[in-house]
């Protein structure tokens, strides 16, 4: 069986793709599959090698443009379509699994031309116009939020949740704390801004870092492109107890240790990130990206905050000391932490990758 995977070259797309890839491989014997071949079509990015260092999934890249001006984007779209057409023809898969994004559009369209069955997965609570366009070519559409079914009104739709990688569950808290040289005397806060980091969250944390380090230890993923700048700023601040601050550009597989070691997570609200936060059962403070398409991060965060698993803070008027006060209030109320942990675990969908894998195999057969 040949399976073509497609999605953007960001952790928010590639991590769920890897989770589905692993789930399909684990079902090979159960599904009586004689052979399995995979190929990924994605966009160019420095994250490709970072993320696929161990999985070794063969991949091809195509040229895409995210420009909103149709006259500027059209030439790139034509190039991308013919690149996708060639890659799909050469591999000729039995099925295509799409995680959405700009790069998936020409791949899905090429697959439709060759009459290859397509399954699309929608991570967010509200689909973008681009994803809605792809749905019309899909045989099945998997969704991450059961409450979103009414938005689709289609028999194609089935609920799975958002697939997360299995390795994030396999870490012991004490061992994880030792790996970061963390003390048991202070709670641990994990700060993330997605795979590329978030400059606004970085700024907020840096401004209250001296106050935070009085009571907490910080693990901070600032983004590859922001690492040198953040490190330089922090070093010049001459903070007394900087030993409690652990800065990283990008975690790779150490994200599992970070999840296990922390007591609270402050993060953006991308679908993959919040799905992993719920899967590991951690309370969180979510700061959605204000410019995200269709306010999808805000809608994701609202879903989890309504269920009691997270605190939602709007980015637009958020001040550093407001964030500090929210964090302090959470840790002052031990019962609240327990309730947030319980709510997070109830929202998790640990079998999402397997459900999608089963549907891919069933449809391809």
292-318 pLDDT, tens digit per residue, is 555 888 989 999 999 999 999 998 889
Q: pLDDT, tens digit, for every residue of 198-246?
A: 889 999 999 999 999 999 999 999 988 899 999 999 999 988 888 899 9
Please give the Cα distance from 165 to 19 (Å, whole number).
5
Residue whose C-alpha is closest to residue 271's, from 248, 294, 246: 294
pLDDT tens per residue, range 129-139: 788 889 899 99
Query: Which pTM does this prediction carry?
Result: 0.89
The strand order across the sheet containing 118-122 reads: 59-61, 37-42, 2-6, 95-98, 118-122, 140-143, 157-159
Select the CATH number that applies to the domain covering 169-347 from these four: 3.40.50.2000, 3.30.420.40, 3.40.50.1970, 3.40.50.720. Answer: 3.40.50.2000
3-state secondary structure 179-228: HCCCCCCCCEEEECCCCCCCHHHHHHHHHCHHHHHHHCEEEEECCHHHHH
Classify domain 2-164+350-364 by CATH number: 3.40.50.2000
State whether residue 152 is helix, strand or coil.
helix
- Give residue 153's region: left, alpha or beta (phi > 0; psi -120 to 50): left
Where does CATH 3.40.50.2000 sit in the chain? 2-164+350-364, 169-347
Greater model confidence, 253 or 119: 119
Strand partners, 169: none
Residue 146 CB neighbour total at 10 angstroms: 10
């Amino acid at each position: 069986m040949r399976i073509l995977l497609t999605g953007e070259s960001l952790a928010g797309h590639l991590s769920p793709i890897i989770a589905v890839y692993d789930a399909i491989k684990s079902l090979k014997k159960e599904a009586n599959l004689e052979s399995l071949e995979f190929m990924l079509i994605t966009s160019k990015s420095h994250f490709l090698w970072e993320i696929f260092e161990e999985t070794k999934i063969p991949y091809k890249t195509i040229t895409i443009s995210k420009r909103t001006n149709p006259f500027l984007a059209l030439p790139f779209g034509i190039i991308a379509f013919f690149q996708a057409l060639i890659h799909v023809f050469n591999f000729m898969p039995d099925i295509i699994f799409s995680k959405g994004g700009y790069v998936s559009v020409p791949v899905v369209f090429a697959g439709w031309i060759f009459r290859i069955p397509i399954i699309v997965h929608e991570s967010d609570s509200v689909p973008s116009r681009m994803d809605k366009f792809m749905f019309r070519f899909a045989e099945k559409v998997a969704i991450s939020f059961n409450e979103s079914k009414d938005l689709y009104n289609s028999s194609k739709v089935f609920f799975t949740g958002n697939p997360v990688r299995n390795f994030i569950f396999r870490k012991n808290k004490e061992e994880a704390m030792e790996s970061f040289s963390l003390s048991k005397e202070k709670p641990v806060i994990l700060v993330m801004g997605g795979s590329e980091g978030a400059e606004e969250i970085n700024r907020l944390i840096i401004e209250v870092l001296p106050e935070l380090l009085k009571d907490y230890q910080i693990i901070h993923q600032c983004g590859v492109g922001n690492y040198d700048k953040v490190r330089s700023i922090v070093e010049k601040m001459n903070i007394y107890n900087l030993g409690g601050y652990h800065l990283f550009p990008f975690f790779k597989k150490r994200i599992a240790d970070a999840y296990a070691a922390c007591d609270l997570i402050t993060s953006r609200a991308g679908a993959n990130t919040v799905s992993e936060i719920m899967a590991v059962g951690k309370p969180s403070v979510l700061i959605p990206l204000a410019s995200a398409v269709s306010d999808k991060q805000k809608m994701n965060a609202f879903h989890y905050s309504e269920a009691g698993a997270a605190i939602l803070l709007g980015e637009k008027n958020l001040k550093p000391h407001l964030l500090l006060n929210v964090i302090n209030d959470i840790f002052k109320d031990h019962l609240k932490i327990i309730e947030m942990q319980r709510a997070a675990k109830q929202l998790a969908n640990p079998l999402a990758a397997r459900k999608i894998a089963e549907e891919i195999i069933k449809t391809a057969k």
